[in-house]
Chains A and B, each alone.
Chain A
C-alpha cells in the first residue's frame, strides 16, 4: 500500500512547472535565505528528495482561532499547503475521520515517522486537573508528551500554546500552562491571538524552503516576525512623535487617524508584525481600523491592566491604581508627613531652638575690611549700636 512519496520537484512538475522553473525557484529560495550560489546545490538536493513532511496538529485549551487564522493565509493559500507542502495527518478541525479512526491517524504518524514529523500545538495544557482537558479519554498533558517525544520540531501556535493566553489570565482557574513549560524540547513560539495567517504559513514554509528553522530570539520567537514593536513600524507613528493623539473615540483626531496611545494602545510594548505584514492579505490591522493594539502577542497581556488605560494596574491595588495614582498618593502622604514633622519638631525642639537663638549673634552691616563682624568683636562697642536685625 505504501507508495513512493513525490518530492517537491515532482509535485512542481505535476503542477506544470518545468525543471527550469524549479531551478529558478530554488535560486530564489536560496537567495532569500542568504545562501551563496555554491550552496545552491544542497538546496536543490533537499527539495528533490524531500516528501511532504508529516504534521500532527494538536488542539488543547484553545478557541481554534489559530486554525481559523491559518486557513485565511493568502500566500501560500492553505489548499496548496494541504495538497503540496505538508501532510497534515492530524488536525481535529479539518480531518475526515473521527473518534478511533482519527486517533489512528495521529498514532500512525507518530509511530511511523519517529524523529521526522512536525508537531504543531494550538492551545495551552491545564495542569490543575487532568480532567480539565481530555481527548479520547486521555489527558492533554499525556497526549502532548507522547506526541512531543518523537517530533523533529515543535511549534506553539498562538498565545495559548506560547504563553497560556486568556485561560491563564488571573486567577488562571485551570492552571493553563504554555507547552514549552511541559515538554523538554526547544519550542518555536508563534504568539498572537491569533498569529497572523501569513506569519504562520511563513514559519512552516521557512523550514521547508530553507531547510532549517528560522532564527529565534530569547523567547523562542522567530526574529523574522517578532523583532519589532508594533509601535516602531506603525504608520501612525508620525502622529505620536508630533504629539497628536486621539483623545476620545470617534473624535476629530480619531477621524484623522491620529495616534491611539492615549486610548490605551499597547503598540509601544508589543512585539509583532501587524503593522508591516498586516492582516487578511495585507489589508489592515487593529490600529488601522481605529482600535488600539491590545498587545495580543505579549505574554500575560490580559493582565497588563485595562485595555483602555495606557498604564497597567498594580496588583493588589484594584484595576484603577496605576503607578501614577500610587505615586501621587505616596507624594501627598509624604508632604503631609513632612508638614506634621515640621510642626511637631518646632514644638518638641523649642528648647533647642531657644538655645540656638541665644547662641546667635547680631551682625553689623558689612564694613568693608575683614568680612562681617560678629558680636565678639562688637562687645567693646557702645550699647546703642547693638541690636538691629534679630
Chain B
C-alpha cells in the first residue's frame, strides 16, 4: 500500500499537498492539505470595515477582485445600502472580465500541460497542424508558416538544453493521448493565450486603476463617468472596453472553446473519472435587478444533492443552520471543542499547529492535517465551481446555460452524466467562459444605454460616514468566484470590524474531512483514479487541476 505524496502541487495558486494511497493501480484514499496560513481573518479585526476589501483582495492575486466584491457586499449588507445601477454594471463587467481571464489562463497555463505533450509537438507536421486549425475555427493565425516558425522556436529552445518550466515534465507518459498536431496547436495557443490574457484585464485597469488588485469601494465603484471630461471615464475609455470585449469574445469562441472540445474529444475516458462528490452548491451572481433579487441573477443560486437535477434547494447565507465550518482535521481550535461546527458570524480563527514539524515525510492524517477549515452545507460536503454553477443554472432552467451545455454535450457525443467528472469540470469552465464573454457585451451595452439616458451615478453616498451606522450590525456578501461559491461574513461593532470570516471556494473543495469522516471534493474525486506510474503522478494532478486549486484563497 504505497502512499504517494505530491507536494508541491504546481500550476495552481498556493501551497497544496496531496497524499494518496494507491492499491492495484488505483487510488483508494486521499488526503488534501493546505500548508500555508496567513491569518487574514485575525488581521481584519478592529479595522475600518470600509477598508476590508483591500485586505481581503490580497487573499488572492489570481482571482483578484472577487474577494473585494464579496467584501464590499458584506459591508453594504450590514449597513443596508444598495449601489447605483452603473456601479452594479461596472462590477458585473469586472466580474465577467475576471472569469474570462482566469478561466483562459487556467486552461492554457495551469491545466493544458496535463493533457498536452510539448515534446511530441516537436515532431508534428506544420501543414497538418494548419489544416487542423483551419477546420476548427476562423482564428486568423492558422498558416503553415506560423506553425513551422513556432516549431523552430520550440526546437531551438529544447536544443538549448535549458528547458526552464518544461524541465522534468511528464513528457512521453502513457496517459498522453493527443496526436502530434493537436499538441503543436495547443502549444501555439499556450503562447497566444499568454500574450492575449494581459489585454482582457485592461478592463480592470480602466475601472479599477490596475490589475492585479483593482480598487473597489463600499457603496459603489470608485470611478466616475463624465462624457464632457478627459479626466474621468469618457467615450475613449468606453471604446477601449468595447474593443477589448470584442477581442475577448473572438478569442474565447475561436481559440479556447475549439481547443477545449478538440482536446476533450481525445480524453473521453476522463468523463468517467474524478466525479467525486454528488452535491453541488452555487450562490449565484451577476445581478440584473440588484443584489437583493437573486431571481434576476445570470448565474443561479441553489444546491443540488445526489446529482438529482430535478430538485434545486434554496440556499441562505444568513441562516445559521445552513453553512458551518469544522476544524476537526484542521490546525485550529474552537472554544466549544474541535468537533463543533460554527456559522461564520460566530466563526473563530485560533491557530493550533499540531505538527508534524518540518522536515517530515508524511502528515498525520488521523489528526489535524491542513490549514483549511472544513465547510458544510446542512452537514453535506459540497462541490463548488464552474460545474456546480452550470448544473444549478441548468437545473433551474436557465435558457442560456442549457443552450451552451447541450450544444457541447452534443458535439462531444456524451450524456449529461459525463459532466460529473474531471472532464466535465474542465468543460463546464469553458462553457461558462463563453457565457461570461457574451454577458460582458450585454452589460457593456446596458452601461452605454444607461449613460445615454443621462444616469452617470456610481456611488451611494448616504451611509458612507461610519457615524451613520448602527452601533452593531452584521452582513454577508455572497458571490461566485471563478473557482466557485465565495462568501464573506462581517460583524461590525462600534464602527469597527468585530469579526470577519471568509468561506472560500477552494475551502469547500480542498478541505480535509469533517468530524464525521466525510471527505470534501478533492479527496473524494481522487478515489478510483487510475495511476499508471506512481513516480509520475500525472493523473492525480489532472483531477486536482480540474478544480483549479487556489490555496491562498482557501486558507487565507
Q: Is the pairing of A and B real?
A: yes
Query: Which one of B42, B456, B496 lies within 8 Å of A319 (CB-CB)?
Result: B496
Interface check A240, CB cutoff 8 A: no
Is residue B202 within 8 Å, beta carbon to beta carbon, of the partner chain?
yes
Query: Of the 9-residue stretches B204-212, B413-421, B511-519, which lies at the interface with chain A?
Result: B204-212
With A131-B331, A173-B39 already in contact, the answer to whether A290 and B58 are too (CB < 8 A) is no
Give chain A's interface residue range (CB within 8 Å of chain B). Answer: 35 or more
Do residues A166 and B58 form an inter-chain contact, with CB atoms below 8 A?
A: yes
Q: How far is the CA of A54 from the CA of B167 in the complex (A)?
A: 12
Contact B167 A249 (CB under 8 A): no
Chain B: minimal CB distance from A223 (Å): 22
Q: Are B211 and A280 in contact (CB under 8 A)?
A: yes
Query: Does residue A79 face the partner (Cβ distance < 8 Å to B)?
Result: yes
- Convert B1-31 into 0s and 1s, putting 1 for each residue whose CB lies closer than 8 angstroms to a CB of A: 0000111111111110100000000000000
Q: Which residues of B contact A66 (CB under 8 A)?
A: 61
**Stretch from B154-162, B293-301, B339-347, B474-482 that touches the partner:** B154-162
Shortest distance from the beta carbon of A238 to any chain B beta carbon, whole Å: 11
Q: Does A283 contact B (CB under 8 A)?
A: yes
**Alpha-carbon distance between A111 and B48 when the two chains are bound, in angstroms:** 48
Q: Is the CB of A249 within 8 A of B219?
A: yes
Complex Cα distance A281/B153, Å?
26
**Which chain B residue has the least Cβ–Cβ distance from A6?**
B160
Binds A, one of B127-135, B192-200, B277-285: B192-200
**Contact yes or no, B37 A132, CB < 8 A:** yes
Q: Is B457 an interface residue (CB 8 A)?
A: yes
Q: Is B164 an interface residue (CB 8 A)?
A: yes
Answer yes or no: B336 CB below 8 A from chain A CBs.
Answer: no
The reply to whether A255 and B232 contact each other, CB–CB distance below 8 Å, is yes
Residues in A neighbouring B219, C-beta threshold 8 A: 249
- A275 CB to closest chain B CB (Å) equals 11
Is B36 part of the binding interface, using a Cβ–Cβ cutoff of 8 Å? Answer: yes
B229: which of A256, A302, A307, A319 is its contact (CB, 8 Å)? A256
Instruction: Check B55 against A166 for contact (C-beta < 8 Å).
Output: yes
- Pick the interface stretch among A41-49, A87-95, A204-212, A357-365: A87-95
Interface pair B35/A99, CB less than 8 Å apart? no
- Residue A354 at the chain B interface, CB threshold 8 Å: no
| Chain A residue at smallest Cβ distance from B113 | A96
Size of the B side of the interface (Cβ < 8 Å), in residues, is 107
Question: Could you tell me the distance in whole angstroms from the C-beta of B45 to the nearest C-beta in chain A?
Answer: 9
Q: Is B201 an interface residue (CB 8 A)?
A: yes
- Bound-state CA distance A338–B11 (Å) is 68
Residue A72 CB within 8 A of the other chain: yes
Contacts of A319 in B (CB 8 A): 46-48, 496
Query: With A89-B167, A279-B210, A308-B50 known to touch, is A65 a contact of B40 (CB < 8 Å)?
Result: no
Q: Does B487 contact A (CB under 8 A)?
A: no
Task: Please give, as numbers and ranges, the residues of chain A lying within 8 Å of B537 by CB-CB distance.
Answer: 98-99
Given contacts A64-B61, A289-B223, contact A249 B157 (CB under 8 A): no
Within A135-150, the residues touching B (CB, 8 Å) are 135-140, 142
Q: Chain A 289-329 against B: per-residue CB contact (8 Å), 1 yes, 0 no? A: 11100101000001000111000000000010000000000
B165 in the interface, Cβ–Cβ < 8 Å? Answer: yes
Bound together, the chains give a CA A174 to CA B232 distance in angstroms of 41
A82 adjacent to B164 (CB under 8 Å): yes
* B286 on interface, CB distance cutoff 8 Å: no
CB–CB B160/A289 < 8 A: no
A78 adjacent to chain B (CB < 8 Å)? yes
Looking at B74-82, B254-262, B322-330, B358-366, the stretch in contact with chain A turns out to be: B358-366
State whether B496 touches A280 (Cβ < 8 A).
no
Q: Is A381 in the interface zone, CB < 8 Å from B?
A: no
- The CA-CA distance from A91 to B11 in the complex, in Å, is 9
Q: Which residues of B contact A94 (CB under 8 A)?
A: 10-11, 109, 165
Do B456 and A249 touch (CB < 8 A)? no
Q: Are A306 and B50 in contact (CB under 8 A)?
A: yes
Given known pairs A89-B164, A166-B43, A173-B43, the reply for A139 and B358 (CB within 8 Å) is: yes
Point out the residues of chain A lying under 8 angstroms from B51, CB to CB. 306-308
Q: Contacts A130-B358, A290-B222; is A88 near B210 (CB within 8 Å)?
A: no
User: With a CB–CB cut-off of 8 A, which chain B residues contact A6?
Assistant: 156, 159-160
A352 and B443 alpha carbons, distance in the complex (Å): 84
Q: What is the distance, in angstroms, from B469's C-beta to the closest C-beta of chain A?
A: 13
A11/B156 in contact, CB under 8 A:
yes
Q: Are A280 and B201 in contact (CB under 8 A)?
A: yes
Residues of chain B from 344 to 393 with CB closer than 8 A to chain A in the complex: 351, 353, 355, 357-361
Cβ 8 A contact of B36, one of A5, A60, A288, A291: A60
Residues 42 to 64 of chain B near chain A (Cβ within 8 Å): 42-43, 46-48, 50-51, 54-55, 58-62, 64
Given the interface pairs A72-B201, A255-B232, A319-B48, the reply to whether A3 lies near B164 with Cβ below 8 Å is: no
B159: which A residues are within 8 A, CB to CB?
A: 3, 6
Q: Which of A229-260 contact B (CB under 8 A)?
A: 236, 248-250, 254-257
B539 to chain A, nearest CB (A): 12
Cα A97 to Cα B10 with chains together (Å)? 7
Q: Residue of A at shortest CB range from B153?
A: A83
A296 to B226, CA, bound (A): 28
With A and B bound together, what is the CA distance between A363 and B458 in angstroms? 75
Kindly identify, within residues 181 to 221 of chain A, every residue whose CB is under 8 Å from any CB belonging to chain B.
193-194, 197
> B217-241 interface mask toward A, CB cutoff 8 Å, 1 = contact, 0 = none?
1011111111001111100000000
Q: How far is the CB of B22 from chain A (nearest CB, A)?
A: 14
Query: With A5-B160, A256-B226, A308-B51 in contact, is A283–B205 under 8 Å at CB?
Result: yes
Contact A279 B205 (CB under 8 A): yes
B346 to chain A, nearest CB (A): 20
Chain A nearest CB from B48 CB (Å) reads 4
Asked if B510 lies at the interface with its beta carbon under 8 angstroms from chain A, I say no
Q: Is residue B168 contacting chain A, with contact meaning CB distance below 8 A? A: yes
**A69 at the A/B interface (Cβ < 8 Å)?**
yes
Q: How far is the CB of B238 from the nearest CB of chain A, in Å?
A: 13
**Contact of A169 with B43 in the complex, beta carbons under 8 Å:** yes
Pairs of residues from A and B, 5 with the lowest C-beta to C-beta distance, nearest first: A65-B61, A257-B231, A96-B169, A173-B39, A286-B209
Seed contacts A99-B5, A280-B198, A289-B223; 13 additional CB < 8 Å A-B pairs: A62-B61, A63-B13, A63-B552, A65-B64, A77-B194, A96-B165, A98-B10, A134-B15, A169-B43, A173-B38, A174-B37, A284-B210, A289-B206
14 contacts between A and B (CB under 8 A): A6-B159, A78-B194, A92-B10, A93-B11, A94-B10, A96-B11, A131-B355, A137-B361, A194-B213, A250-B220, A255-B456, A279-B210, A306-B50, A308-B48
Please give the residue numbers on chain A whose beta carbons come within 8 Å of chain B beta carbons, in ascending order: 1-6, 11, 14-15, 51-52, 54, 59-69, 71-74, 77-79, 82-83, 86-89, 91-105, 108, 126, 129-140, 142, 165-167, 169-174, 176, 193-194, 197, 236, 248-250, 254-257, 274, 279-281, 283-291, 294, 296, 302, 306-308, 319
